[in-house]
Amino acid sequence: MAERRIRQLGDPVLRQVSTPVQDPDLTAAVLQDLRDTLHEFRRTHGFGRGISAVQIGITERIIYMEIDGLSYSLINPVFEYMSDERFALWDDCFSFPDLLVWLERSENVCIRYTGEQGSDQVLAATGPLSELIQHEMDHLDGVLAIDRALDKNSLCTRDEWQRRHASRRPAAFPRSVAVRD
């Protein structure tokens, strides 16, 4: 398989609601393309943890993530639970890699999904994994991080974020992570 072009902010496909996977036999190829695309983005940009199929133009409910040394292939994921406890963070996205968005996410989530081998799975997540799942699930529903900005001052270019916030990050944003996708 191969790395694919990541759709950028303004591409109407990013606003489409993804449909459930109908042919599980085709998901292995999509997941491989997502892996290859994630790895290439990480190689060229220095960050990246997850990608949804819609970001490469496939409007099916498929997500691939790599975080904390583990990989996750989520097919037809559905939220079972989202906590009321929330945390704020600077979020970014492969589809607009030079823009960061100050937003809030639920601290804990639980999802049900089909795994790469076709078995039903449940995943409970907290903190960074919870945030990443929410970010990627938003993509499947045509929602972008910019839609979740807390206010009109919640957008920042990566260069400006580096100037204003990077040196203060541990003290100013103990629960936040500056680089997300």
Q: Which two tokens stand for residue 11?
A: 């591409």
Identify residue 63 by its one-letter amino acid code: I
Annotated catalytic residue 136 = yes
- For residues 133 and 109, the answer to whether their CB atoms sit within 8 Å is yes
Identify the residue whose tokens are 């974020």: 161
Cα–Cα distance for residue pair 44/87, rounded to 1 Å: 29
Size of the chain in residues? 181
* Contact of 85 with 107, CB cutoff 8 Å: yes
Helices (H) and strands (E) in the chain, counts: 4, 8
d(CA 39, CA 47): 9
Residue entry with tokens 């990246």:
48
In the set 60, 104, 136, 160, the catalytic residue is 136
Kindly list the catalytic residues: 136
